Amino acid sequence: MRSPADLLFLSGTVEEIEAVTHRMRRLRVTGDRLRTIPWLPGQHVRVNVTPPRDWLRRPGDARRSYSVWGLDRDRGSLDLGVLDHGDGPGAAWSRTARPGQSISLSRPEGRLTLRESAYHLFVGDETAAVAFAAMLRALPTRIPAYGVLVTDRPGGEVPLPADRQLPWVYRGDADPADGRTLLQAVRALDLPGEPGSGYLAGEARTCQAVRDHLVRDRGWSRRQIVVKPFWAPGRRGLD
């Protein structure tokens, strides 16, 4: 008989860990129940990053969200993108994760998924790139994609589909929460005259600033924009 935790969470094992950039790692998780779960490109899972004894005592530290790079139901494997940043419980867990380690995680969830649209706009930092890569792979080739991503320096670019590359800009030594570099790059984008569907993900205030630009300066409706704040300095649960 399954325990209450088994009904709420999926169980898996870290099979392998691969460095993708100097700060991003791909974690492959395997588990029998991963063969049957639904997933839409762009969705994330919530990983339990603290011991069960702490889930009720420190609920704000219990889980952290990680974007799904891909799901292979035949293998029963799920690839997660994990960025090493900050000092929160998620960062602490990711730095100690090792092959063979058991983990528990939620089913894929989230509204950062593709919509029907004449074209698509993807804007975010490196934390958004894993979800965007999955969405770009699923996008029909006939549908145009625009966008821009920001990271700290060359070599920090998370791989995107070869036929769906987006430009990267670099903030250098600036605070990762300083969204000016990305906002300036979005302002310079040559987009079609009519709005499409926009996906903004990454640092919370930067996402808000880009959305404001699209609405105020380019005539987009808020309904045409999906915003997914992955992190924010000092905000519990988004560290």
Distance CA 29, CA 40 (A): 17
* Residue 106: DSSP 8-state: P
CB 39 within 8 A of CB 172: no
| Confidence (pLDDT) at 53 | 64
* Tens-digit pLDDT profile for residues 183-203: 999 999 999 999 999 999 999
Nearest to 201 by CA among 87, 100, 81: 81
Task: Judge if 4-105 and 120-231 fold alike in CATH terms.
Answer: no
pTM value is 0.91
Q: Does domain 4-105 have CATH number 2.40.30.10?
A: yes
Indicate the domain borders of the chain.
Answer: 4-105, 120-231
Whose CA is closest to 83, among 19, 24, 17, 36?
A: 24
Domain at 120-231: CATH code: 3.40.50.80
Read off the pLDDT of residues 105-153 as tens digits, 9 standing for 90 and up: 999 999 999 999 999 999 999 999 999 999 999 999 999 999 999 999 9
Give the model confidence (pLDDT) of 151-179 as tens digits: 999 999 999 999 999 999 999 999 999 99
Q: Does pLDDT of 238 surpass 60?
A: no
Tens digits of per-residue pLDDT, 29-63?
999 999 999 999 999 999 998 776 666 666 666 88
